[in-house]
Structure 1
């Protein structure tokens, strides 16, 4: 049967003759796509609008027969509109929700496992979804990616009481500064790490600590906090917040798992997923075996194939900590290969606020290229202090690129045996289409 969320039924009852309809404005974003697929899975008639630019979610939306129109097309008659925070609230009499509001309403009274943190959220959430489904538990899940290997989609309604959510710390909308995860009432919370990010809404480390501390304080006494006990800010929250819930720490000193993905961060994320599954009632020995079902997710150390002796990979990492950990994992896993990093920084605000950290992290690669910086909607029309050229000048041997010359310059600088790793939260992954022309 469906879930009743206040006065709104977001998961339609099976007896309902006419399913409800929902329209997503900005449907191609990974979070919007994930919820759209979950709601379609629950019986809603789903459609949406976006630009005609190709996103990583285009294929999965097409696979599930979700109609996507251009923004210029008038809004259809529907029961609910969900809009991305990146776009203005539409003027309409139709009930309208932000993505964060709609997600919270959709899961309602389900037993939420919230996966939070500045890095590792997507991977850990995908690991949990794969783990549960490999043992026949039909949990719902909402993961901010385009694909999860072995699962049908990144968003699923599920019939199990538990619902896995990649819980975002970013603001609900331009007019609602609350973190998106503040709208959730999780029973189990994973924090993969806590570091200062999003300086546009969290100017100081203290602001970041505050929102994560509030998240932890909200876990009920019967719930569980799964946390990395080697993370400094996490331990500061533990010391100062006095959580009443069960505590389940993990760290890199625990026995490693046999995974099909490499790197220390994947091992840490697997530890977190296994402990969360245990907190949800899965025997530890079963969870430890089931974690092997995870085989990867879109834009997370994603392999794009071998072309002319070069191994092509892509990753979503866009914070200095993520960049350093991911690049180091490639250098460790492939000790005899050069790692060529092509980085597209995401937002001028983040780049300028964390500039020295970025320079340090990007110096780990054998050769680094800097793409034009991704400008957020909030930054359009504002002056910027940093340019790709001045950014590259801070990194030994780095080169600034344009979108017109990037693929050619990187390819000509590479040689057989190299790894070409694109990284960033924008569109840098599209360079692989050009690299593959050398097949």
Structure 2
């Protein structure tokens, strides 16, 4: 019996990546079910699509299940997972499932410490607009596509290749994109060397007839290639260097950025100009990576450029949630110092005279402790910073003892090198500060990979009253 004929149950199905997998399995007519610890819009969306998912983890959900796939956020001692192992139900890593889904396709895997959701979304959008009907699974929802996963009839399969828990090492892509490599996920990687080794293993899996696409401007990508010993050809891109190069960057009236580019395409030299609706130098690099991947897939450059011109971003990636009383409210998934810097720099580019509020929810005790000095330097482009309590995600406060107690909003705000860094003991406290001080023309950005976006949503709701 093929694995496609079995009942697959997903734990943590409300997460961005897991909900995408549920949609792909359902589209392939696999018997799929799932559960998550709390209700959410993502869970309700899956239910509305006809996918049987429920709130709460419970061993009773294992009845009739042939394969269990837990998300990386599921604790090892979760009773449902423990019971599955006791019963001998095969437990697959989510990377195993993605690898199985893309097995008979041309895999295009987009990795990197930052920018992989946006770059994967851009590539999937280009291939879709070009009529290639790709399959894709992405950790965010590209606005032009409207979904974070789709099963297509074409041969291309675009996947966001997450390094956490070494997920991307379960793939064997034909095209591998690495946007950048920095130290992150201290609960998976001991240090930068361990991170570089994992990315090197990832690109080493690309066959000789494939291609590895990396950023020439990124020191981590350069260091990774030196230790990787890849057999596939390497195509690099950048602003400062690379076979493909962007130049003449300038803000445009769309709130994004225009740039010119040249490159060594598969059919010879290419050049052109591109106009993006998303701001920031980081998005120029993301777009350039997408153009290189599109060229590798045979998409005419004119079509790829036109498609990028219509790309309006992805969910929780500098996403405009709304405007009320002249206050614009954005949400961004930034949870690493480099991501916060890039997001705020892009916001400053779009609103050079705006009064920018950065509402930051630190993500996990381990990351906050390991990168606190870098976080302290990340908020220069904001006018005001409000620090929320840490979102623990998969971690437990009691496992970190004194460190967890020291990582409270008051102490974290004191560490930030900024003229106006404040702390909030709760979402309500942050909301009170904002309601009493924001005014027309202000820009509020929630920076969170957890539930900190609720502050912006509540603010928008109250300003609209």
Same-fold status (TM-score > 0.5)? yes
Of residues 321, 332, 342, the one that matches 1:315 is 332
Distance 1:417 1:425 in 2: 26
Shift of residue 72, structure 1, vs aligned partner: 4.9
| 1:286 is the counterpart of 2:311 | no
Aligned-partner SS, 2:334? coil
In 1, are the aligned partners of 2:444 and 2:456 still within 8 Å (CA)? no
Of residues 77, 80, 86, the one that matches 2:67 is 80
Residue matched to 2:35: 49
TM-score of the aligned structures, taking structure 1 as reference length = 0.90
Distance 1:285 1:363 in 2: 37
Alignment of 1:126-145 (within 5 A): 126-145=121-140
Residue matched to 1:175: none
Shift of residue 79, structure 1, vs aligned partner: 3.8
Residue matched to 1:103: 98
Of residues 17, 27, 30, the one that matches 1:31 is 17
Shift of residue 187, structure 1, vs aligned partner: 0.8
Distance 1:313 1:203 in 2: 33
Distance 1:264 1:123 in 2: 13
Residue matched to 1:154: 148
Shift of residue 247, structure 1, vs aligned partner: 1.7
Residue matched to 1:275: 292
Residue matched to 2:252: none
Of residues 134, 159, 165, the one that matches 2:159 is 165
Stretches of structure 1 that go unaligned for 5 or more consecutive residues are 1-6, 13-19, 172-178
Aligned-partner SS, 2:33? strand
* Deviates most, 75-84 or 275-284: 75-84
Shift of residue 152, structure 1, vs aligned partner: 4.2
Distance 2:50 2:324 in 1: 32
Residue matched to 1:206: 193
Distance 2:57 2:72 in 1: 18
Distance 2:386 2:172 in 1: 42
Shift of residue 332, structure 1, vs aligned partner: 1.3
In 2, are the aligned partners of 1:275 and 1:284 still within 8 Å (CA)? no
Residue matched to 1:244: 231
| 1:117 is the counterpart of 2:112 | yes
Distance 1:259 1:24 in 2: 36
Shift of residue 125, structure 1, vs aligned partner: 0.8
In 1, are the aligned partners of 2:178 and 2:215 still within 8 Å (CA)? yes
Shift of residue 108, structure 1, vs aligned partner: 1.6
In 2, are the aligned partners of 1:342 and 1:421 still within 8 Å (CA)? yes
Residue matched to 2:378: 361
In 2, are the aligned partners of 1:228 and 1:234 still within 8 Å (CA)? yes
Residue matched to 1:438: 463
Distance 2:307 2:357 in 1: 34
Residue matched to 2:271: none
- Once the two structures are superposed, residues 160-203 of structure 1 have per-residue CA deviations (whole angstroms, 9 ceiling, x without a partner) of 111001001011xxxxxxx1111100111111110011112212
Residue matched to 2:430: 406
| 1:342 is the counterpart of 2:359 | yes
Shift of residue 223, structure 1, vs aligned partner: 1.0
TM-score of the aligned structures, taking structure 2 as reference length = 0.85
Distance 2:72 2:23 in 1: 19
What is the number of equivalent residue pairs in this alignment?
A: 416
Aligned-partner SS, 1:405? helix
